[in-house]
Chain A
């Protein structure tokens, strides 16, 4: 079953199209690495999925239902933004309780494994204003995974995390995939993209150029390293070529 399906999705800001004609479907248990140059439309695509931005044309279906103004579909989504900011005067524990209240989570229904493995349990009584950027990222990761979402949207999740925590987070992504979650990750770290991605969705100038397994790209170009294979593969594509959708 398709967890996420974009159908001819387009978004225009004034006269400028940030996204145009994006059609793609992502299945359960699939990790999709969304990559592309700055300003290529990655953030807009994610924001459309999260309901933060209204598309100009096309539609998005989440878990089989076309999304509209009803926010209930977002109960199935866990989101980790690139920049984690929370109310500064709340403690981490109060923040977690707030999200529990909002999500209507019952005691014992949450997945709290990341709280211990990322060391957030030691931060529970600390105020957000006393946390470093990396610590806030860890709290953000906990919130994204906590409500057992079947769709995870992670925006540059390892940026700002120490290597050990980044490894723990990526392991959590793989675990979520094993549990059937569909994971969309934006990243500029090509090792991460090659290691984690079942497919690489490449955006350029608002167009989805391809959504292919990384192995396909490396095989076609004869390069084993994705960061080297990718430019070669792009050079082979015609300007409007769209493949693997």
Chain B
């Protein structure tokens, strides 16, 4: 597996899109820190960018890279290699490349301007989100025969997680505002990796106080050490399950 990983990573290291992504993030991060007078405000703006942009680019890039490599993947599958090893290696290489791009583009400015718990939480959640959406991307790509259809499914997945799921939670909160719905909302929020990441960062910035009782419930659960561990385990599961499913589908697939 590591042989395929090594050369796939070498290919990705020179990939224009991966390099462009790193520099785009660097430009956005530097712009926000230089233009905003307040570092915390810049970090909040950067959080919004990261929570929207990182999942989208990880999803689309993973799908497109998988299809661009398809003929070569077939050639690898004809070598004395197990298919599991091929897909795991490609998934790990794509994730590594995008995480490095993210840490270069967002990590360097964040460490330079706000090397505190908020900054580190943003970097951790951004890294986790990259892995989650690379896993979802490879899972979609393996199951679809057509590249355009796969990209479409990826975009719908992204819209569902970034916009629709949030809207549903808000609707629930407003509709049942007279009931103690918060204990239900907490696990529901944890089911969406983007919401989960947002909550984790929000709690570090202390914006949870603005949310009243809901914020208090979030603080009570996610603010504790156990809550943090559960949150990161949830993000790990969000990565492991789609990746495992993708490998399983790839092994059974007619190439």
Q: Which of B14, B70, B78 contacts A79 (CB 8 A)?
A: B78
Q: Which residues of B contact A103 (CB under 8 A)?
A: 79-80
| Contact A52 B3, CB 8 Å, known A71-B82, A81-B74, A87-B72 | no
Taken together as a complex, chains A and B put the C-alpha atoms of A106 and B84 apart, in Å, by: 25
Q: Which residues of B contact A79 (CB under 8 A)?
A: 75, 78
Highest count of chain B CB atoms <10 Å: which of A72, A74, A77, A89: A89
| Contact A47 B69, CB 8 Å, known A89-B15, A103-B80 | no
Determine whether A102 belongs to the interface, using a CB cutoff of 8 Å to chain B: yes
Determine whether B11 belongs to the interface, using a CB cutoff of 8 Å to chain A: yes
Contacts of A77-93 to chain B: CB distance below 8 A? 77, 79, 81, 83-90
- Check if B80 sits within 8 Å of A75, measured CB to CB: yes
| Contact A98 B15, CB 8 Å, known A47-B254, A72-B80 | no
Instruction: Map CB proximity to B onto A103-121 as digits: 1 under 8 Å, 0 otherwise.
Output: 1000000000000000000
- Check if A52 sits within 8 Å of B7, measured CB to CB: no
Q: Which residues of B contact A232 (CB under 8 A)?
A: none
Q: Which residues of A contact B80 (CB under 8 A)?
A: 71-75, 102-103
Taken together as a complex, chains A and B put the C-alpha atoms of A53 and B255 apart, in Å, by: 6
- Check if A51 sits within 8 Å of B78, measured CB to CB: yes
Q: Which residues of B contact A243 (CB under 8 A)?
A: none
- Check if A101 sits within 8 Å of B78, measured CB to CB: no
Determine whether A50 belongs to the interface, using a CB cutoff of 8 Å to chain B: yes
Determine whether B233 belongs to the interface, using a CB cutoff of 8 Å to chain A: no
Q: Which of A47, A54, A73, A102 contacts B81 (CB 8 A)?
A: A102
> How many of B's residues come within 8 Å of A, CB to CB?
29
- Check if B81 sits within 8 Å of A87, measured CB to CB: no
- Check if B7 sits within 8 Å of A87, measured CB to CB: yes
Determine whether A94 belongs to the interface, using a CB cutoff of 8 Å to chain B: yes
Contacts of B55-82 to chain A: CB distance below 8 A? 68-72, 74-82
Taken together as a complex, chains A and B put the C-alpha atoms of A101 and B80 apart, in Å, by: 11
Taken together as a complex, chains A and B put the C-alpha atoms of A95 and B254 apart, in Å, by: 25
Highest count of chain A CB atoms <10 Å: which of B10, B12, B76: B10
Q: Which residues of B contact A99 (CB under 8 A)?
A: 79
Q: Which residues of B contact A90 (CB under 8 A)?
A: 7, 10-11
- Check if B254 sits within 8 Å of A54, measured CB to CB: yes
Q: Which of A52, A85, A89, A95 contacts B78 (CB 8 A)?
A: A52
**Shortest CB distance A237–B (Å):** 30
**Shortest CB distance A207–B (Å):** 20
Q: Which residues of A contact B15 (CB under 8 A)?
A: 89
Instruction: Map CB proximity to A onto B1-42 as digits: 1 under 8 Å, 0 otherwise.
Output: 001101110111111000000000000000000000000000
- Check if B11 sits within 8 Å of A88, measured CB to CB: yes
Residue on A nearest B254 in the bound complex, by CB: A53
- Check if A102 sits within 8 Å of B254, measured CB to CB: no
**Shortest CB distance A133–B (Å):** 12
- Check if B10 sits within 8 Å of A74, measured CB to CB: no
Q: Which residues of B contact A74 (CB under 8 A)?
A: 78-80
Taken together as a complex, chains A and B put the C-alpha atoms of A72 and B82 apart, in Å, by: 9
**Shortest CB distance A145–B (Å):** 14
9 A-B pairs besides A54-B254, A88-B11 with CB distance below 8 A are A13-B254, A51-B77, A52-B254, A83-B71, A85-B75, A89-B14, A90-B7, A90-B10, A102-B79
6 nearest interchain CB pairs? Answer: A85-B71, A87-B11, A89-B14, A75-B80, A98-B7, A52-B255
18 residue pairs bridging A and B, Cβ less than 8 Å apart: A50-B77, A52-B77, A54-B254, A71-B82, A72-B80, A73-B80, A79-B78, A85-B71, A85-B75, A87-B8, A87-B10, A89-B13, A94-B10, A98-B4, A101-B7, A102-B76, A103-B79, A143-B75
